[in-house]
């Protein structure tokens, strides 16, 4: 045991350590040497605060270069990184801290007093601060330390991170990611997506989530590339940075927003070689408009917190809309029924995944872990899918989205797809709401395009011509936009609350 995730990543750093790892929108550059040295200082500061191999470090801070170096410091010291969305409030934080019992907590400076108080009643931890500008008490502590902190060796199945998944029901679960989960996935994606040291990634994703932290940053560091590191998705900043970038990773909302202005065109992205989309379904309209405007086919891939990336459309070869591509080279996928029986090719069932990318289980939830794994090691994703004759996976819906109306099972995605195809519709979300007669009733929440005068009755009548009555929305509501979380996912729980009393 002489290696670790950190050591493997650092071994991939370029020979010229002065090379830029990341650049901020105001032009400040940080080199690979900075990443190496600051990770050492942060590792030493965490060690001085009492954190030892396997201990958790909870981090709820704004995105910044220092936040990335803090992550590297954690894995350098063999600690378990636990990123938290800055949107979480006191009650949610108390749950995470009690559950994960971190030894160190790093928070936004403006919330330090609040975090001290939460920590006081939940967990014996040292609380540090780190601001968006990179300043804070952990930076002060780290500044006093040296740049030669010896990386702590770790076994492949030692934990590197715990990521809490939002989950539509029940308590958030901490997905335990091992050293090998993160390393193998990053390594595979670098090859699959053709990353080289010549690439510059436009990074506008949050780094409290697997997409922005592991997928994006690991691909860059493992290939010795550079990134333009934006604090968040800001359309103007993205437009300004695109001419210098070669790759962008984003959620579908990013691409919809880029397409919303005429300044996003083929000339602007002439330096780009690849746009990757994931974390939420890509609308066919976005895929088509994107190609028409830029000449690029968006590369859609599929993953989730527990499994990192599992499938991807190809770099070379057909990128097919409505599919998330075949399994990654070292990943196996299959579609099963509720009992775990493998279904025939083309049949719709639950997607299961096995491979070095699949997490080690849910933190302190052995029961839940057992429920979500098959005996042969496949993880039951909860996504409803089919695999076509080319081996491409189609995500058809989410098991937890399932609406049961009058005893019939209804997958909203099927209805959404048809509504979305109607002229005048931008997008839609279909949900089940309590109904005195049916238990749940199907309703559609629709966003119309600009001047469209489409009515709810027209939508209902059209869907009636296509599918069984029990699937036809009982009512249609119009909204200006669908509520989305930071990862671009439609927040159906928000819609379900909002429309819970319509019957
Ligand atoms: P998260 O754990 O937050 O990354 O969410 C994972 C979930 O996002 C998956 O289980 C899918 O339901 C959804 N998802 C991710 N990528 C895609 C995609 N390309 N198309 C459709 N759904 C996706």
Query: In the 3-class helix/strand/coil scheme, how is 235-279 assigned residue by residue?
Result: HHHHHHHHHHCCEEEECHHHHHHHHCCCCCCCCCCCCCCEEEECC
CA distance 106 to 128: 5
Residue 110 CB-density burial (10 A; 0-12 exposed, 13-18 middle, 19+ buried): exposed
> Does pLDDT of 323 surpass 90?
yes
Nearest atom, ligand 1, residue 300 CA = 19
pLDDT attached to residue 166 = 63
The predicted pLDDT at position 408 comes to 72
C-alpha–C-alpha distance, residues 102 and 51, integer Å: 9
Query: Ligand 1 pocket, 305 CB below 6 A?
Result: yes
Confidence bin at 171 (pLDDT 50/70/90): confident
Q: What is the pLDDT of residue 413?
A: 86
Q: How far apart are CA 290 and CA 284, in angstroms?
A: 10
Q: Which atom of ligand 1 is nearest to the CA of 382?
A: 10
Under the banding of pLDDT at 50, 70 and 90, the label for residue 398 is: confident
Q: What is the C-alpha to C-alpha distance for residues 407 and 439, in angstroms, rounded to an integer? A: 8
Q: Report pLDDT for 170.
A: 58
CATH number of 403-498: 3.30.300.30
- Token pair for residue 58? 């909870």
The 10s digit of each residue's pLDDT in 135-157 is 999 999 999 989 999 999 999 99
179 pLDDT above the threshold of 80: yes
Give 167's pLDDT tier (boundaries 50, 70, 90). Answer: low
CA 161 → CA 23, 53, 155, 301, 493, distances in Å? 25, 12, 14, 22, 27
CATH says 5-13+24-154 is which class?
A: alpha beta
CA of 370 to the centre of ligand 1 (A): 22
Q: pTM of this prediction?
A: 0.88
Query: DSSP letter at 186?
Result: H
Bridge partners of residue 493, in order along the sequence: none
pLDDT digit string (tens) for 85-98? 888 888 889 999 99
**Which residue from 395, 396, 433 is spatially nearest to 415, judged by alpha carbons?**
396
Calculate the alpha carbon distances from 375 to 125, 159, 174, 370, 379 in Å. 38, 22, 21, 9, 9
Cβ of 381 closer than 6 Å to ligand 1, yes or no, is yes
Which position has the higher pLDDT, 233 or 405? 233
Ligand 1 contact, 398 CB (< 6 A): yes
Q: Which two tokens stand for residue 491?
A: 């927040």
pLDDT band at 219 (very low <50, low <70, confident <90, very high): very high
pLDDT at 394: 97
Q: What is the mean pLDDT of residues 185-199?
A: 98
Confidence of residue 168 (pLDDT cuts 50, 70, 90): very low
3-state secondary structure of 34: helix
Closest of 196, 198, 224 to residue 32, by C-alpha: 224
Mean pLDDT of 220-232: 98
| CA 301 to ligand 1 centroid distance, Å | 9
**Average pLDDT, integer, range 97-107:** 97
Q: What angle do CA 287, 288, 290 make, to 5 degrees?
A: 65
Model confidence band, residue 466 (pLDDT cutoffs 50, 70, 90): confident
Q: Do residues 488 and 280 touch, judged by C-beta distance below 8 A? A: yes
Q: Tell me which DSSP letter residue 484 carries.
A: B
Residue to mutate (ligand 1; options 83, 212, 395, 411; most atoms within 8 A of CB) = 395
Across the chain, mean pLDDT equals: 94
How far apart are the CA of 167 and the centre of ligand 1, in A?
12
pLDDT at 437: 76
Beta bridge partners of residue 443, listed in sequence order:
431, 475
Determine the Cα–Cα distance for residues 29 and 10; give it in Å rounded to an integer.
19
Mean pLDDT computed over 201-217: 96
Residue whose Cα lies nearest atom 8 of ligand 1: it is 279
Domain positions in the chain: 5-13+24-154, 403-498
Is the model's pLDDT at 169 over the cut of 70?
no
Distance 420 CA to ligand 1 centre (A): 19
What lies within 8 Å, CB to CB, of 421 at 6+ separation is none
Instruction: For 1-156, list the strands marked E by DSSP.
Output: 20-23, 29-31, 56-60, 80-83, 104-107, 126-129
Asked if residue 168 has its Cβ within 6 Å of ligand 1, the reply is no
Is 300 a pocket residue for ligand 1 (Cβ < 6 Å)? Answer: yes
Query: Is the separation of the CB atoms in 153 and 4 below 8 Å?
Result: yes
**Cβ of residue 276 lying under 6 Å from some atom of ligand 1:** no
Q: Which two tokens stand for residue 199?
A: 């690439």
């Amino acid at each position: 045991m002489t290696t670790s995730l950190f050591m493997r990543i650092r071994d991939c750093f370029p020979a010229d350590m002065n090379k830029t790892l990341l650049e901020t929108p105001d032009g400040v550059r940080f080199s690979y040497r900075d990443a190496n040295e600051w990770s050492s200082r942060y590792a030493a500061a965490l060690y001085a605060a009492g954190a030892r191999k396997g201990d958790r470090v909870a981090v709820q801070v704004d995105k910044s270069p220092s936040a990335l170096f803090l992550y590297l410091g954690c894995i350098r010291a063999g600690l378990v990184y636990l990123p938290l969305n800055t949107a979480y409030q006191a009650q949610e934080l108390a749950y995470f801290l009690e559950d994960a019992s971190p030894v160190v907590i790093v928070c936004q400076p403006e919330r330090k007093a609040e975090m001290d108080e939460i920590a006081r009643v939940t967990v014996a931890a040292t609380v540090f601060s780190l601001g968006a500008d990179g300043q804070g008490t952990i930076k002060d502590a780290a500044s006093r330390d040296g740049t030669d902190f010896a990386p702590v060796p770790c076994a492949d199945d030692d934990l590197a991170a715990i990521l809490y998944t939002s989950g539509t029901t029940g308590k958030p679960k901490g997905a335990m990611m091992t050293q090998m989960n993160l390393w193998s996935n990053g390594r595979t994606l670098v090859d699959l997506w053709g990353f080289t040291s010549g690439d510059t990634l436009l990074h506008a994703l949050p780094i409290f989530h697997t997409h922005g932290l592991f997928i994006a940053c690991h691909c860059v560091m493992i290939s010795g590339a550079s990134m333009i590191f934006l604090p968040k998705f800001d359309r103007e900043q993205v437009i300004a940075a695109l001419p210098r970038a070669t790759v962008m990773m984003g959620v579908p909302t990013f691409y919809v927003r880029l397409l919303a202005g005429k300044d996003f065109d083929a000339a602007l992205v002439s330096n780009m070689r690849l746009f990757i989309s994931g974390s939420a379904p890509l609308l066919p309209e976005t895929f088509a408009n994107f190609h028409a405007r830029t000449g690029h086919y968006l590369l859609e891939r599929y993953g989730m917190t527990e499994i990192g990336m599992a499938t991807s459309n190809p770099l070379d070869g057909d990128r097919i809309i409505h599919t998330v591509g075949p399994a990654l080279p070292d990943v196996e996928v299959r579609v099963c029924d509720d009992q775990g029986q493998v279904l025939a090719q083309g049949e719709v069932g639950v997607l299961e995944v096995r491979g070095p990318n699949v997490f080690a289980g849910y933190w302190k939830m052995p029961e839940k872990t057992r429920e979500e794994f098959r005996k042969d090691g496949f993880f039951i994703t909860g996504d409803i899918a089919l695999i076509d004759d080319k081996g491409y996976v189609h995500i058809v819906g989410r098991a937890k989205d399932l609406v049961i109306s009058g005893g019939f099972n209804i997958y909203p995605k099927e209805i959404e797809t048809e509504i979305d195809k109607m002229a005048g519709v931008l997008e839609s979300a279909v949900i089940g709401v309590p109904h005195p007669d049916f238990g749940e009733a199907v309703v559609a929440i629709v966003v119309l395009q600009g001047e469209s005068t489409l009515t709810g009755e027209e939508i209902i009548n059209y869907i009636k011509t296509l599918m069984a009555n029990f699937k036809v929305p009982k009512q249609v509501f119009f909204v200006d936009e669908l509520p989305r979380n930071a990862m671009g996912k439609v927040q159906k729980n928000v819609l379900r609350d909002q429309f819970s009393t319509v019957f």
